[in-house]
Structure 1
Amino acid sequence: MDTNQIKELIEEQKQEFEMEVPTIRRQKLEEIDSYSQIPHIVVITGLRRAGKSTLLKQIKKRYYPEENIYYMNFEDERLLDFKVGDFNALYESFLETSKQSKVFFFDEIQNIPDWEAFVRRMYDRGFKFYITGSNSSLMSRELGSKLTGRHVKLELYPFSFKELIGSKGIETEKEFYLTEERARIKKEFSQYLENGGIPEYYKYGNKDIIRNLYDNILYRDIIVRYGVKDETAIRSLAYYLITNPGTEVSYNRLKNVLGIGSQTTVKNYIDHLENSYLIFTINAFDYSLKKQIYSKKKVYIIDTGLMNVLAFKFSKDTGKILENIVFLELKNRGHDIYYHVDKNECDFILMEKGHIIKAIQVTQRMERSNEKREISGLLEAMEKYGLKEGLILTEDTQDALEMDGRKISVRPVWKWLLE
């Protein structure tokens, strides 16, 4: 690339990066505390437009307030011709246009093939890197090639409910709420169920933001990147999954329902959607890894706002939306998540260090019509995995039950999210 053009980009992006924009403080910033003190490359991955660039700004403000850093956003269309060999010219341009630094901030670096070669070389020379990317599989492959043992990785999701409530000045570190606070939190939670936490959509409320984001991810990050030839098939699959969060699916059934060529094609398409952070899949728990792999999957969506805009229904399934929100929070908290199915079903089984530590059931409300089913699934899981306590999360019910010598806590999802 032309060095003059690179210098112009550096200056322009620097001004934009340093603009003071009111932002909601991300919880992931706390994880950076220890990461900033070690030489390892800090890798932040997540959905496009989920706030990775904003997190970089918060890292700069908190940990390098008086220092110069080298910043480049590789999502800029003027960098389409940038190749790995241009990194030297980029570094020289940084030296010529700004004060020397030992810290690089690179945004959406997965757009540059073989980027890890430059990062490894500069890392060995004592430079610190904070980099972001929007493709889980691609980043993992590249990090595993030249940067094994030299990086730490965290995933950033759209705003959590706790982040949004915290930004409104409501104290969340308590068990009981005044009537006024409770009403305000429940109102905010209703909006969160509907709108989710994608930053731009949360701020502006324009549904075209979601539609454009979705089309951008599906076309640029999946169809173009992976060379998908049957665009109609992958769009149909994505829409089906987004319309059915928390539903058990099998590759064979999806192949038949959607008329896609083979189970292998369905699996590849789901992998592409998952790598781009549009969806997540979990397995039914089994002590046999082989049985886990071949079990039906349950699929969850990255954001309920995206789900509500793209998969509009005249009658929304609030119970499934609540289940999706609980899954995202468990994922955000770093849990290893499965579901249980036998005679009955339990929504979430959490594993830690090789042991099952919790069983969670999610339902919109506890009523006579569903109480037996919800409790039976939870009790079955608790008995199978030797758990003395279980959790049922509902829209707005709080209770404490004891059955068959086991304790079951019933809590509102909104209150659990604020713990």
Structure 2
Amino acid sequence: MKELLKSILFDQQKLGWNTRNVRRDFSPAYLYNQEIVVITGIRRCGKSTLLQQIRSEQSEKDYFINFDDERLIQFRVEDFQILYETFIELFGVQKTFYFDEIQNIAGWERFVRRLHDYGNKVFITGSNANMLSRELGTHLTGRYVSHELYPFSFREFLEYKGKVPLPSEIYSTEGKSEIKALFSQYFSVGGFPVFLENQNDNYIKSLYENILYRDVMVRNNLTNEKEIMELVYYLASNVSRLSSFNSLAKTIGVKNASTVSNYLQFIQNTYLIFQINKFDFSLKKQIQNTKKTYFIDQALITRLGFLFSEEKGRLLENIVFVELKRRGHEVYYFSAKNECDFLIRRGNQITTAIQVCFSFDTQETKTREINGIREAMKTYSLSEGLILTNDTEEEITSDSQTIRVVPVWKWALQNNEK
């Protein structure tokens, strides 16, 4: 095993940071605190690249290994000690470790805990939310911080395209036109880094199949591929729409709604989809109410499901939702006499109401969107609300309530403004 590890480690030393890569947002505080840093997210969103970015900024870089390597198929938890000894033999004593896709090795958390307890700094990546949280919660409680990574934001997409807009460009005619054209591209192709390079639909198909078979079916010992594929197809074709476990069970021909509930949890653990609840101060009612489903990236929606061209508003809503998650928000939806797409909760308070619509041109649309957000604002005593559109910008003031109407592309570039 040691000779094999030496070969792998030397080979993988070549997997360094490329200065042409887009730098991802990452808190500098994570680099210097004592906690284990856990980078999680969907497959192929750039976790390994972020790990290389972190390595490039550290004085100690050598203790790196990517466990998603077929030569490590026989690696077991008892081999971690051999790996540790090999690191020291090849590179001398260092105190910083980088483990990519460590979840592939059962029992990894015990070794990482030992490293941490002896004063080492450890960075790890993984693609399964439930597996990581279960293992971290069991053995590493209080010893780690988590950083969720998503496909490129619109700001990162612009950087990838070589366009880093100055504040003045957001308002100039020429700058605004260029940014809007790039947002139209982003709206279609999303933010998976490798897909942006080739825009080959087979890449998205392969990514989805890897998630479906490796992260959902194999990991959870499932056999009914058809049911899960039909479920994902239906959700992608109905993104942002309400559904219940019972309605989904009928749609895919499953007798028991709890089976669908389990499927959804397994899929959510891969970061492929997210489900949000209707806000209620009663947790029991939150769980019982119908849910809205969103996908990690719009490229997956358009290539896994079927949407009519006039349903662009639901894709725009998905982009907004993912950006809210990227910013670390706790997100719900509002439904009473009228509906409002998103409520943001901080602690025990609803602090923001957001409505999303592609076009804000017709009186019917304006009435529907304004009535929905006003009811949400009144319910939670909010003086300001936000309607995000594809292109419209204005301000609506009435009855001590102010509603800002802002294009999504501009809102997405306004740092963490709500």
Question: Normalising TM by the smaller chain, what interval?
Answer: over 0.9
For 1:226, what is the secondary structure of its paired residue?
coil
Q: Verify: 1:3 aligned to 2:2, yes or no.
A: yes
Superposition pairs for residues 128-277 of structure 1, below 5 Å?
Answer: 128-167=121-160, 168-173=162-167, 176-277=170-271
For 2:119, what is the secondary structure of its paired residue?
coil
> Alpha-carbon deviation of 1:175?
8.2
Counterpart pick for 2:315 among 302, 314, 321: 321
Superposition pairs for residues 19-418 of structure 1, below 5 Å?
Answer: 20=18, 22-27=20-25, 29=26, 31=27, 33-62=28-57, 64=58, 66-167=59-160, 168-173=162-167, 176-313=170-307, 315=309, 317-366=311-360, 367-418=362-413
C-alpha distance 257-305 of structure 1, shift in aligned 2 (>3 A): same
> Alpha-carbon deviation of 1:253?
0.3
Code of the aligned partner of 2:291: K
Aligned residues: 412
User: Matched residues in 2 for 1:61 and 1:266: separation?
Assistant: 43
User: Matched residues in 2 for 1:183 and 1:196: separation?
Assistant: 19
> Alpha-carbon deviation of 1:60?
1.3
C-alpha distance 316-103 of structure 1, shift in aligned 2 (>3 A): farther
Segments of 5+ residues of structure 1 without an aligned counterpart are: none
Deviation sequence 1:329-360 (CA, Å, 0-9, x none): 00000111000001111000001121110100
Segments of 5+ residues of structure 2 without an aligned counterpart are: none
Report if aligned partners of 2:241, 2:293 keep a CA contact under 8 Å in 1: yes
Report if aligned partners of 1:361, 1:374 keep a CA contact under 8 Å in 2: yes
C-alpha distance 242-181 of structure 1, shift in aligned 2 (>3 A): same
Code of the aligned partner of 2:21: T
> Alpha-carbon deviation of 1:145?
0.9
C-alpha distance 21-212 of structure 1, shift in aligned 2 (>3 A): farther
Task: Identify the range of structure 1 (38-47 vs 360-369) with the bigger mean alpha-carbon deviation.
Answer: 360-369
User: Matched residues in 2 for 1:203 and 1:172: separation?
Assistant: 25
Code of the aligned partner of 1:9: I
Code of the aligned partner of 2:11: E
User: Matched residues in 2 for 1:171 and 1:309: separation?
Assistant: 30
Code of the aligned partner of 1:76: D
Report if aligned partners of 1:248, 1:299 keep a CA contact under 8 Å in 2: yes
User: Matched residues in 2 for 1:21 and 1:123: separation?
Assistant: 30
> Alpha-carbon deviation of 1:18?
2.2
> Alpha-carbon deviation of 1:312?
4.3
User: Matched residues in 1 for 2:167 and 2:51: separation?
Assistant: 26
Code of the aligned partner of 2:99: F
Code of the aligned partner of 2:400: G
Code of the aligned partner of 2:84: Y
Task: Identify the range of structure 1 (274-283 vs 78-87) with the bigger mean alpha-carbon deviation.
Answer: 78-87
C-alpha distance 206-130 of structure 1, shift in aligned 2 (>3 A): same
Report if aligned partners of 2:154, 2:183 keep a CA contact under 8 Å in 1: yes
Report if aligned partners of 1:173, 1:418 keep a CA contact under 8 Å in 2: no
Report if aligned partners of 2:240, 2:314 keep a CA contact under 8 Å in 1: yes
TM-score where L is the length of structure 2 = 0.96
Task: Identify the range of structure 1 (43-52 vs 234-243) with the bigger mean alpha-carbon deviation.
Answer: 234-243
> Alpha-carbon deviation of 1:207?
1.1
Code of the aligned partner of 1:133: G
User: Matched residues in 1 for 2:346 and 2:308: separation?
Assistant: 40
> Percent identity, aligned pairs only?
48
Report if aligned partners of 2:17, 2:49 keep a CA contact under 8 Å in 1: no
